[in-house]
Amino acid sequence: MNGTGMTGTARIGPVDANPYKWPYDGSVPAAHTALICIDWQVDFCGPGGYVDRMGYDIGLTRAGLPATARLLAHTRAAGMLVIHTREGHTPDLTDLPANKRWRSAQIGAEIGSAGPAGRILVRGEPGWEIVPEVAPVPGEVLIDKPGKGAFYATQLDLVLRTRRITHILLTGITTDVCVHTPMREANDRGYECLILSDCTGATDPDNHRAALHMVTMQGGVFGCVADSESVISATTWSDS
Amino acid sequence: MTTLDADPGPYTFDLASTALVIIDMQRDFCEPGGFGEALGNDVGRLRVVIEPLRRVLAAARAVGMTVVHTREGHRPDLTDCPPAKLNRGHPSLRIGDPGPKGRILIRGEYGHDIIDELAPVPGETVIDKPGKGSFHGTSFGELLAERGITSLIVTGVTTEVCVHTTVREANDRGYECLVLSDCVGSYFPEFQRAGLAMIAAQGGIFGWVAPSPEFLTALDTAPNLQEVAS
């Protein structure tokens, strides 16, 4: 153990988290942990994207970007698997449920229609890309998903099992919608989850707070909540 | 087609392709002396849904709607219980431990079964699920597809955990979900409020919300499936 230097093999935990010291099994090798960065897309947190056009304050969805960028640098150094998700649909919209399209039209941002950053929530368009602050680097996994969850109709579970991932750190937007849904999916599948409070955000601050609080109830019904600094300071390195 | 007033806008459904889903109205969660109460929760906050839900269930049966009940629980050998679920938080009572109404959350135990007031009748499907969601690790999705169901009337407990997870799964799969606000319950008033608000937010990002009298009134005007069939 060299304790402080960021070389060798990294372990995470125990992390000072709520409602228990995460993870439940004490600590976990970084090699069995994935950082999932959810939907940091221009459409959700960039100027001129989908959320911006809906009239929400993108300052709220951008709030978690600096902490996520720091955590990304840390987890890359620790050798953790990094996964980025993007919500979006194929250009012909054959994977867009009719009711999702209808609802988006009702609020003036119809999926597939021309928006300020290309066709809204369509794969390959500028608004669908991940913002530069937390952009993927070569070797990281990209998961394109048609829904709010990240497991349904994607290869996420296959990727996690192939890489022997058992523990998941979650960042992204929005807390109550696209972060909570995969956290619930992952939890039902037996992954031990930690959501990073300062690496998330929502268009509605009350929903952000409530979503984080919900995780901590009943002894951690979906896992735990912590801030990114707690993960960074709970990382240890050994030479083996 | 039948339409009712809901939040964030009118909800339209066709009885023949709509199912009433009753989530986890199990003795261990809802009855005094059960697992939920042993964890320090006030089961009274869940029991308020029983009366309105009983009326909705009776009305759904009267018109011949598809009715599906779910139960959260595990096999007696716990082979379907993830270690993280079993061990996290060092609980005083673990899944599989002897509890006041039998082994906690184990299939076949008294506490795992549905409360008498809402007990399934022959012809109604019971889905046993190992998680909070009703789709993962079950045949719920196949059942709905086979019956041609596209709309779900969602009820049960608890609002922010098993109801929300199921609605999120269903919504991603394209189902149109209406959550009946007085037929879903939470041990925590804050989460009851936030859970319902999240469903209808952003133009109904997960679905629609309405109180059960709106649904009952709409059923009165809907064609009776059994009469249509006969």
| Band (B227; pLDDT cuts 50, 70, 90) | low
- Mean pLDDT score, B111-129: 97
- From residue B230, alpha-carbon distances to B13, B64, B227 in Å are 22, 12, 5
Q: CB of B157 within 8 Å of any CB in chain A?
A: no
Sign, Cα dihedral of A123, A127, A132, A133: negative
Strand partners, A172: A38, A200
- Mean pLDDT score, A9-37: 97
- Mean pLDDT score, A160-172: 97
Report the residue of A21, A22, A24 to disrupt the B interface, i.e. the one with the largest count of B CBs within 10 Å. Answer: A24
Which chain A residue is nearest to residue B151, measuring alpha carbons? A99
Instruction: Say yes or no for a CB contact (<8 Å) between A184 and B91.
Output: no
Sign, Cα dihedral of A43, A223, A211, A151: positive
Return phi, psi of residue A120, to 5°. Answer: -65, 125
Sign, Cα dihedral of B182, B183, B185, B190: negative
Active site residue A178: yes
pTM: 0.91
ipTM of the complex: 0.86
| Band (A2; pLDDT cuts 50, 70, 90) | very low
Q: How far is residue B60's CA from residue B2's CA, in Å, rounded to a whole number?
A: 14
A 10 A CB-CB count for B158 gives 29
| Band (B189; pLDDT cuts 50, 70, 90) | very high
Active site residue B129: yes
A 10 A CB-CB count for A202 gives 27
Q: How far is residue B113's CA from residue B117's CA, in Å, rounded to a whole number?
A: 12
Which chain A residue is nearest to residue B88, measuring alpha carbons? A24
Q: Does the pLDDT value for residue A56 go beyond 90?
A: no
Catalytic residue among B24, B28, B113, B128: B24
Contact (CB, 8 A) for A81 and A169: no
Give me chain B's average pLDDT, please.
Answer: 94
Instruction: Say yes or no for a CB contact (<8 Å) between A187 and B84.
Output: yes
Q: Does the pLDDT value for residue B195 go beyond 90?
A: yes
Contacts of A153 in chain B (CB under 8 A): 172
Active site residue A21: no
Q: How far is residue A115's CA from residue A110's CA, in Å, rounded to a whole number?
A: 9
More confident residue, B71 or A2: B71
pLDDT at A116: 86
- Mean pLDDT score, B105-128: 97
Instruction: Say yes or no for a CB contact (<8 Å) between A214 and B160.
Output: yes
Q: Does the pLDDT value for residue A3 go beyond 80?
A: no
A 10 A CB-CB count for B129 gives 24
What is the tens place of the pLDDT at every residue in B52-89? 999 999 999 999 999 999 999 999 999 999 999 998 86
Q: Which residues contact A138 (CB under 8 A, 6 or more apart)?
A: none
Report the residue of A38, A51, A103 to disrupt the B interface, i.e. the one with the largest count of B CBs within 10 Å. Answer: A103
- Å between B107 CA and nearest CA of chain A: 17
What is the tens place of the pLDDT at every residue in B13-42? 999 999 999 999 999 999 998 889 988 899
- From residue A64, alpha-carbon distances to A12, A59, A134, B36, B88 in Å are 21, 9, 10, 35, 27
A 10 A CB-CB count for A18 gives 17
Q: How far is residue A18's CA from residue A218's CA, in Å, rounded to a whole number?
A: 11
Upstream peptide bond of A174 is cis (omega within 30 degrees of 0)? yes
Structure tokens at A52: 């911006």
- Å between A5 CA and nearest CA of chain B: 30
Instruction: Say yes or no for a CB contact (<8 Å) between B89 and A24.
Output: yes
Coil/strand/helix, residue B205:
coil
CATH code of domain A9-238: 3.40.50.850
Give me chain A's average pLDDT, please.
Answer: 94
